[in-house]
Amino acid sequence: MNEKEIAALISLIDDPDENIFHQVKSKLLSMGEEVIPALEQHWESNHLGLVFQHRVENLIHEIQFEAVRSGLEQWVKDGGNDLLQGVLLVNRYQYPDLDEGKIKRKLHQLKQDVWLELNDNLTGFEKVRVINHVLFEVHNLSGNKKNYHAPQNSYLNNVLESGKGNPLSLSIIYILICEMVDVPVFGVNLPNHFILAYLDELGIISKISGEENDGVLFYINPFSRGTIFNRKEIEQFLDQLKLEKKKEYFKPCDNIAIVKRVITNLVYSYEKLGYKDKSEELKILYAAIDSAGLAEGTI
């Protein structure tokens, strides 16, 4: 459709005939994000009344929401290999005009500062100390203990800007930086707390003790400024929660599980604040990931 046809269609949004409005709405929704600038332009002109403005606002939100939903579905179908892409898609739920370039530049800065301090002669423990120093001392990232369940703790753009996040968002930043500098650190989907595992690529623990270690050299807690700990402490934590010691609580999880947990955290945060509409929409995003994964056999 050309600009005049789109403008004519938009002018019918406040038509009192509900059937006409629903036909117009369906057509505009099918056009996707490309029609948003025209909708915004007509909304800003502010001469078609409150009904028109309200309907345009809802239309824009539905289009943007559908873009996030379909984007997450496609991300899963593509294998969910790019963690940053999945996390940014969730960020776009709250921030449709997200400046991805700004986020990537900040992550690159963190990576550069870490890379300058690393060398091949360092042990795994020494590499983690370097990463901890850069993230938690130089750049002052920290856990938001005062406002732990706030939604902003789950949005990467907010965390990078404020320097405060929850265990999962801090872990995501940690994982992304480690990925960039080729350090084998991955997420562990522990109940009630997200942590990291440094993989035992050389089989050091098995060679020394002969014990099974799930391929993990040690664990890291980014929420406690990168504290290093071992398997026994996870076992004690699970005992406190009276939970079964399942294998997945000790082993790295995939990126799809991480993004699903971001959404789960947001659902809880918005429900706690009384934002039922947001929590229901996020449940739809979660279901979209699940259905896409089942279709592709990845979950």
> Is residue 15 over pLDDT 90?
no
Greater confidence (298 vs 219) lies with: 219
Cα first-last separation, the chain: 40
Strand-pair category, 164-165 with 142-143? parallel
Residue 158 binned pLDDT confidence (cut-offs 50, 70, 90):
very high
> Is residue 209 over pLDDT 60?
no
Distance of alpha carbon 57 from alpha carbon 65, whole angstroms: 12
- H/E element, 143: strand 142-143
Are 91 and 265 contacting, i.e. CB atoms less than 8 angstroms apart? no
Give me the helix-helix angle, 255-273 and 167-180, nearest 10°: 150
For 227-237, how does the pLDDT look when each residue is reduced to its tens digit (9 = 90+)?
999 999 999 99
Q: What is the pLDDT of residue 14?
A: 79
Distance of alpha carbon 269 from alpha carbon 238, whole angstroms: 23
- H/E element, 187: strand 185-188
List CB contacts of 35: < 8 A, sequence separation 6 or more. 6, 28, 63
Strand-pair category, 195-199 with 216-221? antiparallel
For 73-122, how does the pLDDT look when each residue is reduced to its tens digit (9 = 90+)?
999 999 999 999 999 999 999 999 999 999 999 999 999 999 999 998 99
> Is residue 59 over pLDDT 50?
yes
Q: Is the dihedral of CA 144, 142, 80, 252 positive or negative?
A: negative
Residues in the chain: 299
Look at residues 217, 197, 198 and name the one whose alpha carbon lies nearest to residue 207. Answer: 217
Amino acid identity of 146?
A: K
Phi-psi region of 163 (alpha: psi -120 to 50; beta: other; left: phi over 0): left
Tokens of residue 262, six digits: 């971001």
Tokens of residue 298, six digits: 């990845």
- H/E element, 110: helix 100-117
Q: What is the DSSP letter of 210?
A: -
Q: Which residues pair with 216 in a beta bridge?
A: 199
Distance of alpha carbon 95 from alpha carbon 209, whole angstroms: 49
List CB contacts of 179: < 8 A, sequence separation 6 or more. 83
Mean pLDDT, all residues of the chain = 91
Residue with tokens 């109940």: 191
- H/E element, 159: helix 156-162
Q: What is the pLDDT of residue 196?
A: 98
For 265-287, how does the pLDDT look when each residue is reduced to its tens digit (9 = 90+)?
999 999 999 999 999 999 999 99
> Is residue 47 over pLDDT 70?
no
Strand-pair category, 164-165 with 185-188? unpaired
